[in-house]
Amino acid sequence: ALQASFVPKIKPRQRFTNQLQPQASTYKVAILGAAGGIGQPLALLIKMSPLVSALHLYDIANVKGVAADLSHCNTPSQVLDFTGPSELANCLKGVDVVVIPAGVPRKPGMTRDDLFNINANIVKTLVEAVADNCPDAFIHIISNPVNSTVPITAEVLKQKGVYDPKKLFGVTTLDVVRANTFVAEKKNLKLIDVDVPVVGGHAGITILPLLSKTRPSVTFTNEEVEELTVKIQNAGTEVVEAKAGAGSATLSMAYAAARFVESSLRALDGDGDVYECSFIQSELTEMPFFASRVKLGKKGVEAVISADLQRLTEFEAKALEALKPELKASIEKGVAFVQKQA
């Protein structure tokens, strides 16, 4: 079955108790950039997971208060705070999943690529520490531009000799969450049932919802396909403009990232039925990194679901070709950024 929402296997009441949980709380999760717009609500949602034994919060400032606040929730995980580079190694030791939303968000008029100059360095420095302290962890990259920050992460890990492509994920769950929401609204479907695979990358036209592969099976007119595709591709910009200078999506992003963390933890815990879309190193197309549906297992990506790219509609096939030059350029920019500093 496909996961339509995160934590689907936990009864609502269990999320808010300190009673013994049916699942053991055994996993340690670190958030780098934990005091930020995404970091704070994401930390709260992860604090609700019965699978988490420790939640390590890292930021360059303001993380002590966030941790003190969260630590009063009567859920199993212990919350620890880490401030600044001198505490980063301790934050990462023994961690199973590292989530990275550190970096600056867009303002109106900016593309995600306009964040490259600042965020590339932030991600590179943080990933060097990940490589040194928890090289076996699943790494979830949220910081934009994801199409470049994921290749940056891969290059840093390669330089450190610890790259496992199965454990590096660009978080594109928000694109799926949005696609599911917009399709359910448009077609009057029960939200919980709708699942739309979104492939490609995470910026503008590189975001390609495969509406023809929507489950349950739905038919769309050509106009609906065009309208929904553009709405999904521009959803990030819609939020940036609505926030008018105060940042980009944080709450829906935290929801989406928490779903991806929970899926990763369930996979680590041996659940054999975990599927998510993610931007990963890939051989599905000629692009070296590509977002698609993957099966998650204890060792990370267990299988790439190639069926979604078969029997595309003419619209999807054209859109797939059209996104490749931009996606390729963004990937190469990330790779070159690390290699030229070597």
179 binds ligand NAD (CB under 6 A): no
Contacts of 110 (CB under 8 A, 6+ apart): 240
Of 142, 150, 168, 228, which one interacts with ligand NAD (CB under 6 A)? 142
Of 31, 38, 66, 184, which one interacts with ligand NAD (CB under 6 A)? 38
Q: Is 25 within 8 Å of 53 (Cβ atoms)?
A: yes
Q: Which two tokens stand for residue 52?
A: 């988490």
CB nearer ligand NAD, residue 60 or residue 218: 60
CB nearer ligand NAD, residue 100 or residue 210: 100
102 binds ligand NAD (CB under 6 A): yes
Contacts of 42 (CB under 8 A, 6+ apart): 31, 34, 99, 101, 253, 254, 257, 258, 261
Tell me the per-residue interface mask from 191 to 230 with ligand NAD, x by CB under 6 A, - otherwise: -----------x----------------------------
Interatomic CA distance for residues 78 and 296, integer angstroms: 26
Dihedral sign, Cα of residue 140, residue 146, residue 150, residue 153? negative
334 binds ligand NAD (CB under 6 A): no
Task: Give the residues lining the site for ligand LMR (CB under 6 A).
Answer: 105-106, 112, 144, 174, 236-237, 239-240, 248-249
Interatomic CA distance for residues 15 and 229, integer angstroms: 35
Q: Is 252 within 8 Å of 41 (Cβ atoms)?
A: no
41 binds ligand NAD (CB under 6 A): no
Active site residue 140: no
Return the active site residues. 202
Contact residues: ligand NAD, CB under 6 A: 32-33, 35-39, 59-61, 101-106, 115, 119, 122, 126, 142-144, 146, 171, 174, 202, 247-250, 253
